[in-house]
């Protein structure tokens, strides 16, 4: 059996809310093989984004384990987690979070810049990605000059700049109409399969989740269904 790229075991996360302790995730366990797209589905408040944040090392779990390529993510310090994200994780935010005063090209180059150096190879890689995403004519446009779909494509291209081991994608189609949302999803799926990148995509849309290689349905912080188990 192929070794899973991502292993989540008995993951639990509690928050201290105004009305006492809130359980965002409880005993969540699943595995994901490398080069596959996992769709995490669930209603608002089901713990989808908390799960994504813990896998990214942005939050620490209350208990449980997250292993990426066999390495424990949940044990990393904030500094180690930041360094890991710079080198190995591709993040796509719901609101794209492109830097508004940077062009599409510079938004991609931000990733190697955060690693400390932007070389010619990085520039060529960024230009190639923009071309692959049909954005070569928009390379020097700022986010405000791009359409919603273009912005989300730039965000996905940025997430691929560091050739990540895993892509973590948060509601990539929520701000797009159905047609553009479908285009973005197909682009994402195509990139994941062609590059062999493991991807976790959070969505509230069952039609989008259904197009993933594997789906995980969360309800009230627990795994309701896991397509890999069925």
Partner 1 sequence: MLAVKELLGSKLKFGLIALAIGLVVSLTMLMSAMSEGLVTGMTGAKRSLDADALVFQGDTALSLERSMLTDEDLAVISSADGVAEAYAVGHLIVTIRGPQGSFDAHVFGLGDAFDQLPITEGERRSPAAGEAIVDATAATEGIGVGDSLSLTPLPGELRVTAFTEGRRYIMAPAVYVRLDTWRSLRAASLLAPSAIDGGDTGPTRGGDPVDGRPTTATQALAGSASIMAVRLAPGVTPSDLSATLSPAFEVATPEEASLAGNGMNVMVLAVNGIQLVSLLIGAMVIGVFFYITTLHKSGQIAAVKALGASNYYVYRQLLVQITILVTLAAIIGVVLALGAGSGMPPAMAFDPDPARWVLSLLAVYATAYVGSLFSLRSILLVDPATALDRAEH
Which residues contribute to the site for partner 1 (CB under 8 A)? 15, 17, 22, 24, 44-50, 52-53, 56, 58-59, 79, 82-87, 89, 91, 93-94, 97, 99-102, 106, 109-111, 113-115, 118, 142, 170-171
Smallest distance, Å, CB 97 to partner 1?
A: 4
Smallest distance, Å, CB 3 to partner 1?
A: 26
Smallest distance, Å, CB 58 to partner 1?
A: 4
- Of 77 and 147, the one with the shorter C-beta distance to partner 1 is 77
- Of 81 and 192, the one with the shorter C-beta distance to partner 1 is 81
- Residues whose CB falls within 8 Å of the CB of residue 34, separated by 6 or more in sequence, listed in order: 2, 3, 4, 5, 196, 198
Q: Is 155 helix (H, G, I), strand (E, B) or coil?
A: helix
Q: Helix 104-115 to helix 78-88 angle, to the nearest 10 degrees?
A: 130
Q: Which residues of 11-43 are buried (b: 16+ CB within 10 A; e: fewer)?
A: bbbeeeeeeeeeebbbebebbbbebbbbbbbbe
- Reading the block at residue 18, the tokens are 């105004």
- Of 2 and 79, the one with the shorter C-beta distance to partner 1 is 79
- Of 86 and 222, the one with the shorter C-beta distance to partner 1 is 86
- Of 109 and 176, the one with the shorter C-beta distance to partner 1 is 109
**At which residue do the structure tokens 């830097």 appear?**
99
CA dihedral 118, 57, 74, 82 (to 10 degrees): 30
The CA distance from 168 to 85, in Å, is 10
- Reading the block at residue 202, the tokens are 């959070």
Smallest distance, Å, CB 9 to partner 1?
A: 21
Q: 168, 56 in Cβ contact below 8 A?
A: yes
Smallest distance, Å, CB 11 to partner 1?
A: 15
Smallest distance, Å, CB 102 to partner 1?
A: 6
- Reading the block at residue 50, the tokens are 């908390």
- Of 110 and 228, the one with the shorter C-beta distance to partner 1 is 110
């Amino acid at each position: 059996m192929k070794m899973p790229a991502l292993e989540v075991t008995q993951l639990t996360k509690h928050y201290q809310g105004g009305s006492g302790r809130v359980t965002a995730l409880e005993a969540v366990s699943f595995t994901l093989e490398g080069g596959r797209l996992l769709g995490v589905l669930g209603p608002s408040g089901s713990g989808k984004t908390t799960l994504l944040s813990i896998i990214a090392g942005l939050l620490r779990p209350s208990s449980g384990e997250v292993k990426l390529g066999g390495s424990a993510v949940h044990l990393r310090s904030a500094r180690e987690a930041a360094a890991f994200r710079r080198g190995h994780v591709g993040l796509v935010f719901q609101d794209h979070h492109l830097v508004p005063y940077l062009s599409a090209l510079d938004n991609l180059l931000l990733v190697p810049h955060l690693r400390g150096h932007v070389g010619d190879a990085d520039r060529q890689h960024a230009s190639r990605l923009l071309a692959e995403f049909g954005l070569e004519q928009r390379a020097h446009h700022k986010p405000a000059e791009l359409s919603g779909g273009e912005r989300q494509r730039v965000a996905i291209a940025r997430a691929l700049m560091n050739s990540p081991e895993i892509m973590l994608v948060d509601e990539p189609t929520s701000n797009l109409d159905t047609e553009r949302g479908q285009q973005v999803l197909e682009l994402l799926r195509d990139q994941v399969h062609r590059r062999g990148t493991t991807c976790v995509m959070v969505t509230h849309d069952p039609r989008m989740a259904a197009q993933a290689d594997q789906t995980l349905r969360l309800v009230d912080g627990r795994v309701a269904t896991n397509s890999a188990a069925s």
